Amino acid sequence: MKLQPNQPFQWSSGWNSPIYCDNRVTLSYPEVRNFIKNEMASAIKREFPNADALCGVATAGIAIGGLVADVLDMPYSYCRPKPKAHGMKNQLEGRLDKNSKVLLVEDLISTGGSSLKVVEYLRENGYQVEGLISIFTYSFQLADNNFEQANCKHFSLGGYNDLLTQAMTDGIITASDLPTLEEWRKDPSNWGN
């Protein structure tokens, strides 16, 4: 993750952001990757004890989902927010038993939009979705509202406040950066405009 409160990044949504979170980088470091997969497996047992199949949300949730499925010895598939434009034009890849209690795996939650498209697709096709687990959440109220409206439980290993605390401890940001960073999370779509 990179924090740049004074030189914001621009997301594909057009939002300006003082943070850029790329959880895919964690796959490059065995110690970090193993920590995340084991913590996620423990959280699944605790938070979603009825889940009996995992489904990664394409694309960033695919790798971590596969790793966690191995730890838990669960069936695994992955799903895109919309069908592939070529080939078989699949949206769901792999085999997923219709009687499964499916838990989605995602790398991060911003608004929840792409993840909830997968939830909707699976439900429309007769699958029982237990919820969604992610590595990180920005903790936007909008995301919480979206998941609540979709009646979909979600859990993240870490969140925005955890990040700020660690960044302060590590000297990446200072106390003078906190008001800007907290303002952004309250209204990310208008921040920096």
Q: Each residue of 5-37: pLDDT tens digit?
A: 778 888 877 788 888 888 889 999 999 999 999
Per-residue pLDDT, 20: 84
Rounded distance, CA 57 to CA 64, Å? 10
Q: How far is CA 3 from CA 42, 141, 156, 180, in A?
A: 29, 21, 20, 11
What is the CATH code of the structural domain delimited by 29-159? 3.40.50.2020
How many of the other CB atoms lie within 10 Å of CB of 124? 8
| pLDDT tens per residue, range 106-147 | 999 998 999 999 999 999 999 999 999 999 999 999 899 999
Helix (H, G, I), strand (E, B) or coil at 14: coil
